[in-house]
């Protein structure tokens, strides 16, 4: 019979998923805003901010932002870095939550 998680574990998992949702929505939005700023010759969002947001959990949103807005796709550190971060984070999530117990 499977073990029922306690309330604290359920709360932490929900909080973590909410954090990931926020980080990914923020990354996606910032890629869109930066693309708009690039087209209108405005002050830009620093690259380290965009990559940093991908690194702290927003990699899926960053990758989707790159694809949807066709932004930063020619920069090697984004073209290879964001997918690498996404794969590494997915692997980490599978190791933490998807393993046999």
pLDDT in tens, the chain (101 residues): 567 678 998 999 899 999 999 999 999 999 999 999 999 999 999 999 999 999 999 999 999 999 999 999 999 999 999 999 999 999 998 998 776 65
Q: Which two tokens stand for residue 66?
A: 């790159």
Tell the residue number behind the tokens 């306690």, with chain if given: 6
Nearest to 20 by CA among 57, 52, 55, 53: 57
Tell the residue number behind the tokens 């869109």, with chain if given: 32
DSSP state of 31: H
Query: What is the value of pTM for the model shown?
Result: 0.88
């Amino acid at each position: 019979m499977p073990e029922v998680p306690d309330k604290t574990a359920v709360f932490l998992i929900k909080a973590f998923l909410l954090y990931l949702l926020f980080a990914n929505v923020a990354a996606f939005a910032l890629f869109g805003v930066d693309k708009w700023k690039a087209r209108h010759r405005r002050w830009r969002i620093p690259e380290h901010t965009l990559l940093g947001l991908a690194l702290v959990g927003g990699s899926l949103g960053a990758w989707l932002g790159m694809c949807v807005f066709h932004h930063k796709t020619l920069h090697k550190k984004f073209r290879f870095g964001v997918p690498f971060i996404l794969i590494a984070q997915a692997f980490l999530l599978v190791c933490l939550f998807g393993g046999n117990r």
